[in-house]
Structure formats: C-alpha cells, structure tokens
Amino acid sequence: MPLPAKAFQRWLQGIAPEASTADICRISGVKRTTLAQQLVRGKVAESTVVAISRAFNINPVAALATFDAYSDLAGGQLPPTAAELVSQIATMDLLRAVIARSAAAAEGTETARATPPAPQLTPAPHATSVRNWVDAIDDGELRHRVSAATGIAPQNYSAQLSANRLTPELAIATSRAAGTGLTGGLVATGMITESEAGWEPGARQAALDAMSDGELAALAGDRLQALGKTLKRQEQDHEETRTIWENLG
Amino acid sequence: MIEILQWSTLAVCCAAAVARIPSALRGENRSLFYIFLLATLAILLSIDGPYVAIDSVLGGTNITNLILRFIVFAVIFFIGLRSMKAFGAHQYRRWLLGWPGMLVFGVISAVMILFFIMMDSSGSSAGLAGVARRSVRDAHLVEYYGAAGRAYPAYVSLVLLPAIAKAVASRLPVLVRVGALLLGIGGASLTVSLLFPFIPPQWSSLKFIINYGAALCFVLGLAVFWTGRVRATRVAARKSSTAQ
C-alpha cells in the first residue's frame, strides 16, 4: 500500500527540514517527475522512501516504520531462518557450492581437507528469489492464509511470484502469515538489502555451510529443475513466436 | 457514413499492399503481398462506383459479383492457410486442405454458381440490389446466393478460431496477441455474417459494418504481425551488433 503524501511530507520535514524537493531528488536519485507525480496523486511509493532514507543515512526499515501502515516494522525483528537465508542464494551460487564441495571431497582423501576459499555469494535478490523465499517459509497453507488476510486472489499472488515481484505490503503480510521476521520478503524483492534488514554479514554463507551435502544437492537439483522448466517454456514461446512472424509477418 | 467506411477500408488495404511491395520484391513472405493485393481488389469490387464501371466492361451481367465472391474465397483461404501454419494448428489442416475442406469448398462454389445461373443477372448493380428488386424469385435467389457466398469464409473462420483464441490467451508477446485478437474479431464477424438473413431491414447498415469491419480487422491484424516481426528482427540485429 503506497504511503499517504501528507505523512510523507511530514516525514521528509523531520529528516531534512532545509532541503528542497530538487535537493532531495538530486541526493537520492529519485526522478523529479516521478516524485512530483506521486505527490500529486497523494500516494508515495515505498521505494521512494527507501531511496531517500538511504541518501540521508537512515535505515530504510526504520524510515518505513514511521508510517502507520508499516508501524509493525518498528523494534527488533526475528532473525531470518536458515531456509530463508538459503532461499536468497542464487541458483548458480548453489551449484558452485556443490562443485566446490565435491572438489574438496575428492582432494580430501589425500590431503587433510584443505578448505577451498568460499566463492563470494552474489548479493540478494536473484532471478527467482521471491518464489524461493515464499517456498522456504511455506508450511503448505501459507498462500491460503495470505490470501485470507489480504484479500488478494491466489492466482494474482502466484502471478506476482512468477514475475519475481511482490508488493511490500504483500511481502510483509506473507512474513506475518508465516510467523517469520517481517523484513525477509523486503530482502527477497530487493526493496532493502540484507544488512538493512539486520541480517548478519555472512549469514547466508553460514546457512549454506551448515547444509549437509545431501540437503545441498537436493536443493540445487530442485532449483536446476525449475530453471530448466522456465528456460524450456521460454524457448517454446520463442519458437512459437518465430513461426508466427515467419508465416504472418 | 457507409461510403466513408468502404473507402477508408479500401485505403487501408491499398496502403498495406503498397507497403508490402519492397519486402515482396526481396522475396519475404510474398503470399502476404498477394493477400493484401487480392483484398484490395475485393474491396474495390464491392464498392458501387468501381463495381458498375468494371462490370459494364465485362458485359453488364453481374459476372463481376461472382468473380468478387471467388476473390474473397481466395483471400480467406490464403489467410487461413498462413494462420494455420503460423499458429501450429496442424490438426485442423485437413478441414481446410484435405478432402473435407475441398468438399466444402466444392459444394459451396457449385451451389453459388448454380444460383447465379438461375437468376436473371442482367443490369450491373453492386450487391445485386437491382436484380433482387426485379421479382420475388430473383430476390430469393439473390438471398441464397449471398448466403452461399458468406458460407465459405464463415467455415474457414470457424476452423481457425480455436487456434487463434489459444494464441490470444497465450503468454506470447503483446503484438502477437493483439494481431491474433484482430484476426479473431475478423473471423468471428465473418461467422456472424451467416446470420444476415435474420437482421431486420432497418438495421441493414449493420451488414456493411460487419463486412468491412471484418476486412479491416484482418488487414490490421496482419499489419500488426508484420510490425511485430520487423521490430523483433531489428532488436535481434541490434543485439548481435552489440555482441560483436
């Protein structure tokens, strides 16, 4: 739910009483026309608040928490679960970890398990981070509870997941319905970074290292299968489109 | 009002045909150029002035109307053929090209020619309006003849509609879906035109709107596919040039 322009103006007054709108836009990188349009409509996007708070070195979560709709974000959040952390590791990083472990295991028989330098994980979010995150915290009934709590139709919710999107409002509603920390979904959608959400640096790597070889292989396999399906569907669509262009274009 | 619709449909069709000349010369999808050309001819022949002029050259027996019907059949057949290949609707192929398709075409053509021969067709008039006014018998014959002329386009449309509907509902690029939607509206209009005898006389302008609307939808739909392909190849070319 976008934030009311009035509350936004009040918040802005609080953090930068001297700055003009032009200054704000220049510092934060928000387009002037975008901000003007949002103010005229009376609805300011959460991403605008996040960008401006970053520019003024304010934690975006704390900034959002000053608005009524996001007051739940105030105060400490539950730490992310291991499954949430792993869900925010890109598929290719998981595959790299599989290869690194198997190489280490092969060498380990001769030398005394020289731990290879862990390849740096790409920062969240990744190409399927939203769906992977929801799957990671889903107990089987989560989607039902989210749709009951927010009134969103299940197919619309699922369409957002497929597009690797989720509105901040729904992301928080999903966390709440799952009983996890409320910022997990904001990380998965790329609204805020891991550190802004209060995730320990290296938390994802630690969660990855804590997985057994079997768990890692199974997860990487699932991800690879999903990737294969998506790619195949894209290729099929592409092929169909090409046939249509060739015959009717 | 109807005249505006007729002439603007002709203009759109003619523009599409002219615009396709360069790509036809390059040998890209020539059949689409012929489709546009035939469609332009068909629309030209369906308008009062050009019709009378051409028919009087051909002897003033309204044989032009019969020619027009077969041109329409040809246009719709080729659009059907291209669409069938484009949308991968190979399971319907025999309903257009196989013996069922040929049978339908043969029967409808034979019936149409028969009705034409039976009526006293002298005296050029577009849509055979003058012939229909001559006697009750001729009026009925013109009615049946017209119905036969609409039957084949409606038949081809019915064969194509499932595949087109599938493309509209698909996840394919927007231009593909818009083009398919326009073809679908055109096809649906041709199918609806089977119900012309049940349209009350005071709404007769509805017939023109459906007919020319269908023609416009087909031409615009094909133009949309064309735009889509041109764009897609341009984007691909730009991508490959940046990749080098």
**A15-53 pLDDT tens trace:** 888 888 888 899 899 999 999 999 999 999 999 999 999
Mean pLDDT to the nearest integer, B179-200: 91
CB spacing of B86 vs A237 below 8 angstroms: no
Question: What distance in Å separates residue A237's CA from the closest CA in chain B?
Answer: 6
Mean pLDDT to the nearest integer, A106-135: 77
pLDDT the model gives residue A218: 95
- Residue A81, pLDDT above cutoff 50: yes
- Residue A222, pLDDT above cutoff 90: yes
Asked if B166 is an interface residue toward chain A (Cβ–Cβ < 8 A), one would say: no
Q: Which residue of B has its CA nearest to A237?
A: B172
Round to the nearest angstrom and report the end-to-end CA distance of chain A.
Answer: 42
Mean pLDDT to the nearest integer, A236-241: 91
CB spacing of A237 vs B172 below 8 angstroms: yes
Contacting residues of B for A155, CB less than 8 Å apart: none
Q: Which residue of B has its CA nearest to A240?
A: B87
Class of domain A3-73: mainly alpha
Asked if B30 is an interface residue toward chain A (Cβ–Cβ < 8 A), one would say: no
CA distance A106 to A102: 6
CB atoms within 10 A of CB B194: 16
Q: What's the whole-number average pLDDT of chain A?
A: 90
Q: Which residue of B has its CA nearest to A241?
A: B172
Contacting residues of B for A241, CB less than 8 Å apart: 172-173, 176, 232
**Residue A55: helix, strand or coil by DSSP?**
helix
CB spacing of B82 vs A246 below 8 angstroms: no
Q: What ipTM does the predicted assembly reach? A: 0.82
**Residue A164: helix, strand or coil by DSSP?**
coil
Angle A68-A74-A80 from CA coordinates, rounded to 5°: 125
pLDDT the model gives residue B203: 84
| Domain boundary assignment for chain B | 2-243
Name the residue with tokens 């709108």.
Answer: A21
Contacting residues of A for B87, CB less than 8 Å apart: 243-244
Among candidate residues B210, B191, B215, B179, the one with its CA nearest the CA of residue B71 = B215
Distance of CA B64 to the CA centre of its chain: 17
CB spacing of A249 vs B85 below 8 angstroms: no
Buried residues in A185-217 as b, exposed as e (16+ CB within 10 A): bbbbbbbbbbebbbbeeebbbebbeebeeeebb
Q: pTM of the full predicted structure? A: 0.76
- Residue B243, pLDDT above cutoff 60: no
Percent of all residues in chain A with a pLDDT value above 70, rounded to a whole number: 95
CA distance A90 to A121: 8
pLDDT the model gives residue A111: 53
**B118-171 pLDDT tens trace:** 988 888 888 888 888 888 888 899 999 999 999 999 999 999 999 999 999 988
Q: Which of B83, B88, B232 sits opposite A245 (nearest CB)?
A: B232
Contacting residues of B for A247, CB less than 8 Å apart: 29, 82-83, 85-86
Among candidate residues B197, B66, B55, B45, the one with its CA nearest the CA of residue B119 = B66
Chain A positions touching chain B (beta carbons under 8 Å): 237, 240-241, 243-249
pLDDT the model gives residue A167: 94
Contacting residues of A for B170, CB less than 8 Å apart: 237, 240
The reply to whether CATH 1.10.10 applies to domain B2-243 is: no
Return the minimum-mean-pLDDT range out of A45-54, A101-110, A192-201, B204-213.
A101-110
Asked if B230 is an interface residue toward chain A (Cβ–Cβ < 8 A), one would say: yes
Asked if B134 is an interface residue toward chain A (Cβ–Cβ < 8 A), one would say: no
Mean pLDDT to the nearest integer, A181-191: 93
Percent of all residues in chain B with a pLDDT value above 70, rounded to a whole number: 98
| Domain boundary assignment for chain A | 3-73, 82-213
Is A94:A223 a contact under the CB 8 Å cutoff? yes
Contacting residues of A for B222, CB less than 8 Å apart: 248
| Cα Rg, chain A, nearest whole Å | 21
Q: Which distant-in-sequence residues (6+ apart) come within 8 Å of A207 by Cβ? A: A82, A85, A86
**B22-69 pLDDT tens trace:** 989 998 888 899 999 999 999 999 998 999 999 999 888 899 999 999
Question: What distance in Å separates residue A160's CA from the closest CA in chain B?
Answer: 15
pLDDT the model gives residue B134: 84
Instruction: Name the pLDDT band for A112 (thresholds 50, 70, 90).
Output: very low
Distance of CA B156 to the CA centre of its chain: 10
Name the residue with tokens 């889509």.
Answer: B228
Asked if B173 is an interface residue toward chain A (Cβ–Cβ < 8 A), one would say: yes
Question: Which one of B29, B160, B234 makes the best mutation probe of the A interface by having the most chain A beta carbons within 10 Å?
Answer: B29
Round to the nearest angstrom and report the end-to-end CA distance of chain B.
Answer: 55
CB spacing of A244 vs B171 below 8 angstroms: no
**B66-109 pLDDT tens trace:** 999 999 999 999 999 999 999 988 888 889 999 999 999 999 99
